[in-house]
Amino acid sequence: MLNVTILAAGQGKRMHSDLPKVLHALAGKALLAHVLDTARTIGAEHIRVVYGHGGEQVRAALDAPDITWVVQEPQLGTGHAVLQALPGGVLSAPTESSTLVLYGDVPLIRASTLQRLIETAAGGSLALLTAHVDKPQGYGRIVRVEGRVTRIVEEKDADDAERAIREINTGILVAPTAALQRWLPTLGNRNAQGEYYLTDIVALAVAEGMQVATAHPDAVWETEGVNSKVQLAMLERVHQRNIAERLMESGVTLSDPARIDVRGELNCGRDVGIDINCLFEGRVELADGATVGANCVLKNCRIGAGARIAPFCHIEDAVVGPDSIVGPFARLRPGTTLGRDVHIGNFVEVKNSTIADHSKANHLAYVGDATIGSRVNVGAGTITCNYDGANKFRTVIEDDVFIGSDTQLVAPVTVGRGATLGAGTTLTKDAPADQLTVSRARQMSVPGWKRPVKNTGPKKKD
């Protein structure tokens, strides 16, 4: 049985924010949410989160049935934090269980690394995740005697020789739960910080003759924490670079891997191309041969095979059919579904509408709450007037309709198959199939009319 305890009680003073540190977002998701998701993937039987500063806000944001919340008040160090999870809780589980300690502000730890650490602890050992770094300043050092770990010394308590050690403690460890129950209540706080260090359990394990094993992450950035906005930004770029590399390794062409942001799940088919400065949120699917131009935002959408999204488009909760062209400067709002070979041009907005195969709206149009058939031409400046200030109504445009420029369709209204609407028409009644419908003021010219001119004469005296 594997218990996971996540320490998330830190105040995060260097973040200079009213938002609790573990709720700050990396790739659009709270730091603690990243850690929780990783804990779930490794088969944790129980997950406990130890919270403190801003705790109720943290709990409200991330509460779930599989999480037990434990408050740490006051915050007296990492050993004290894990101790809070002991009384009557999951850490009082059967003696064969192990406890993995993670940190709510260390978001990029990989499940594969944790699995390796857990395997290292098999057989009842205490297993530490350590790393070798060129600049160990600020970290606890792993002290070894004849190659065997004997203790961990925090930098503020270390002498010069110990500060020269480059193997550092990441803080992540796996320990037998029963051993934690013995060790944690005995910890002291006679150190430079006046805190109860979790790292002191290493010396206790050695004193009992327990093996202290170590495992290492594949990359040091997996174990890096967030204590400032600078560190948050650095890990964001690491994370995005990792995503970009995975995309390119799967065959996606990125114009610049340093200029893509994925805040969710991006799934790509073969021969997909993505230009610079694109943002993907939620779940986005790009089918074979789809391309996305520069400076686009795509959220919870599906882009069909061979479709082309031109630069500066916003697409949210929408489906773009195969071989369609969207943009530039187009917006597809929630509920939009485009069929095959649909063209949505510059400064066109579509909302809660379906547009069937081979139809087009190429310029300056608004299509809202509409059902549009195949081979329909929507002229420039056309709008569906779908809202009367209180209720919304639907417009139906059947196949093979031609709508002239600057047309207003006042819903609810239906345009019959093959109909033509003349430019400038305001349609308030259904337009019959295969006929021309036009409504506009009669054109007239006024002979002899002269345009007014500005009076530039002297002002009148009072």
Just list the catalytic residues: 363
Token duo for residue 409:
């369709």
* CA pair distance 312, 326, nearest whole angstrom: 10
Q: What angle do CA 273, 275, 281 make, to 5 degrees?
A: 90
Contacts of 168 (CB under 8 A, 6+ apart): 130, 131, 132, 133, 136, 139, 140, 141, 142
* CA pair distance 237, 260, nearest whole angstrom: 10
Token duo for residue 68:
């037990």
The phi, psi pair for 254, rounded to 5°, reads -110, 125
User: Contact 85/48 with Cβ under 8 angstroms?
Assistant: yes
Burial of 429 (0-12, 13-18, 19+ CB in 10 A): exposed
Task: Please identify which residue in the block is written with the tokens 């359990």.
Answer: 201
Assign 3 to helix, strand or coil. strand
Burial of 342 (0-12, 13-18, 19+ CB in 10 A): buried
The CA radius of gyration of the chain, in Å to the nearest whole number, is 32
Token duo for residue 265:
């799940």
